[in-house]
Structure formats: structure tokens, C-alpha cells
Structure 1
Amino acid sequence: MSERLNRAEEELAHLRRIVDDLSEVVARQSRELDLLNRRVALLMERAAEAEAERTGTIPLADQKPPHW
């Protein structure tokens, strides 16, 4: 019975380590996604500003539909 309990405790410790590792991965990916989303938003804003300066109009993507 002791061997069985030891194996179960080892497996539990292993699973806890895996969960901790995966939690760190998810947290890191969340931070990376936040950063990438901010960068994409900034790039979209810059592209819209450049288009507005070039054409003198609001880019279609930034215009509200007529029914608004």
C-alpha cells in the first residue's frame, strides 16, 4: 500500500508542476496578446491618420454606417 501511495503522491506532484508550468505559459501569452493588440491598434490608428492626410477623408473602416 505504501508503494501505491508513493506513486500517487509522485504523480500528484508531477501534475501540480505541469499545471504551474502551463499557468505560467498562459500568463505569458496573455501579456504577449495584450501587447500585440495594443500594437495593432496603434498601427491601425497610424494607417487611418496617414490615409486621412493623403485623401482628406475619413477611412471607410472608421466611418459609421449610414443607419447609425
Structure 2
Amino acid sequence: MDDSIERRMTELESRLAHHERMAEELSSVMFEQGQIIDRLTAQVRRLRERVAELEAGPQRAPQDEAPPPHY
């Protein structure tokens, strides 16, 4: 093989290896971010449920209410 072709092939192989490593790293980061998003989504859902409960006020049964003052 010609020396310049061999150099070009070596350079291409090096670039390919670099791009493969970057793709693996990006895949790993995306997987981790997906897990974080799932946890945050669940947390937001729980917080929304809690806020809705608080906005609705305490749930009381009629027997739990104090009698009016004239009794």
C-alpha cells in the first residue's frame, strides 16, 4: 500500500474508534438521564397528589365535627 493511503486508513480507523467511544458514552448518559427523568416524574406525580389532597382540605366524617355552640 502507498504510505499516504496507509496513513489515511490509520486516521480513519482512529476517528472511527473515537466516534464509537463517544456513541457509547452518549448512550450511557442518555440511559442515566432516562432513569433520573423517571424518578423525577414519579416525584412530581406524588407532589401533585399531595397538593390536591391539601387543597381539598381535611376529610372529616360528620361525627368528627364538633356540635354547634348552642348545644
Normalization by structure 1: what TM-score?
0.75
Of 14, 18, 34, the match for 1:30 = 34
Counterpart Cα distance in 2 of 1:6 and 1:34: 42
CA displacement 1:22-62 (0-9 Å, x = unmatched): 11111111110010000000000011111112598xxxxxx
Please give the root-mean-square deviation of Cα atoms over the aligned residues, in Å. 1.7
Q: Which runs of 4+ in 1 moved over 4 A?
A: none
Per chain length, whose mean CA-contact separation is higher, i.e. which structure has more relative contact order (CA < 8 Å, sep 6+)?
Answer: 1
